[in-house]
Amino acid sequence: MKVRILGCSGGIGGALRTTSFLLDDDVLIDAGTGVGNLTLEEMCRIDHIFVTHSHLDHIASIPLLVDSVGYLRNKPITVHAIAETLEALQKHIFNAVIWPDFARIPSPESPYLRYETIAMGNTVDLAGRKITPLPANHTVPAVGYHLDSGAGSLVFSGDTTTNDALWEAANRIANLKYLIVETAFSNSELDVAILSKHLCPSLLGEELRKFKGGVPVYITHLKPGEMGLIMQEVERDAAMMKPEMLRNDQVFEF
């Protein structure tokens, strides 16, 4: 398995892109504005999108992706998500008001887009690539993901605040190689982090004390304008794990 980081910011501006990871060449984990870094040819290869939750920074490119390449493909793109996220996409995005209902276009029998419901802890196996939803604790129903090639695994927290269930699951993964975890706000915005169910460095430090794995830790979803400050605080409050900031075009192989 190879994961390429297309976007990992908590916002946009300049080269900053919101969350999207490309798994091999045919699967997206979230589809934020980072999808715009792909060429049209690369977008045509996307067969599956696994969505963590319904917030715009994680789904913004799904409508445009389907519109751009649906007619160039011979099968629909499958969006995998928990039931609440799929309902939000259908009701609020692909509703023929905000965007066309591509699950019925060009016809219900041969659409550009289809939906597949996933459930917590149930693994989707794509030709030996195992993708399992993990618990997340956010303001809307949400998941993280465990990506497992057999030889190694990567865990992505998705958007979450304090989350014992995530660490219990991660601690059971024997072949874990990488951990990607969000930290959206600086410590001065602790109240905002708690209200919006994100992490700040002090909360991250408390969470990582629950994690027993000795693997590299990468920090994602930092707010633009505060990236330097957030990472300075992360390096202090979670020093025992030596976290690094996740970056666009970073590649993980496992």
The domain that holds 193 is classified in CATH as 3.60.15.10
What are the helix (H) ranges across 60-149? 61-69, 83-92
CA 147 → CA 38, 68, 85, 234, 246, distances in Å?
21, 27, 20, 25, 17
User: Is residue 143 within 8 Å of residue 131, measured between CB atoms?
Assistant: no
pLDDT of residue 22: 98
- Output the average pLDDT for the chain: 98
Residues spanned by the domain of 44: 2-253
CA 243 → CA 73, 105, 204, 213, 240, distances in Å?
40, 45, 10, 13, 8
- Percent of the chain topping pLDDT 90: 99
pLDDT of residue 153: 98
pTM metric for this prediction: 0.97
Sheet architecture: strand order including 48-50: 113-117, 77-81, 48-50, 27-29, 20-23, 2-7, 251-253
Task: Give the Cα separation of 109 and 111 in Å (integer).
Answer: 6
Task: Give the three-state DSSP class for 159.
Answer: coil
Q: What is the mean pLDDT of residues 45-73?
A: 98
Task: Give the Cα separation of 174 and 218 in Å (integer).
Answer: 19
Q: What is the mean pLDDT of residues 140-150?
A: 98
pLDDT of residue 68: 98
Share of the chain residues as helix, strand and coil, in percent rounded to the nearest 5: 30, 25, 45
Confidence of residue 159 (pLDDT cuts 50, 70, 90): very high
Q: What is the mean pLDDT of residues 125-144?
A: 98
Residue 239 half-sphere exposure, CB side, CA atoms within 13 Å?
4
Task: Give the Cα separation of 46 and 76 in Å (integer).
Answer: 10
Confidence of residue 81 (pLDDT cuts 50, 70, 90): very high
Confidence of residue 19 (pLDDT cuts 50, 70, 90): very high
Confidence of residue 99 (pLDDT cuts 50, 70, 90): very high
pLDDT of residue 2: 98
Q: What is the mean pLDDT of residues 188-214?
A: 97
Nearest alpha carbon to residue 145 among 185, 177, 180: 180
Q: What is the mean pLDDT of residues 179-202?
A: 98
Q: How crowded is residue 164: how many other Cβ atoms within 10 Å of its Cβ?
A: 11
Task: Say how many domains are in the chain.
Answer: 1
pLDDT of residue 149: 98
192-205 b/e with 16+ CB inside 10 Å = b? ebeeebbbbbbbbb
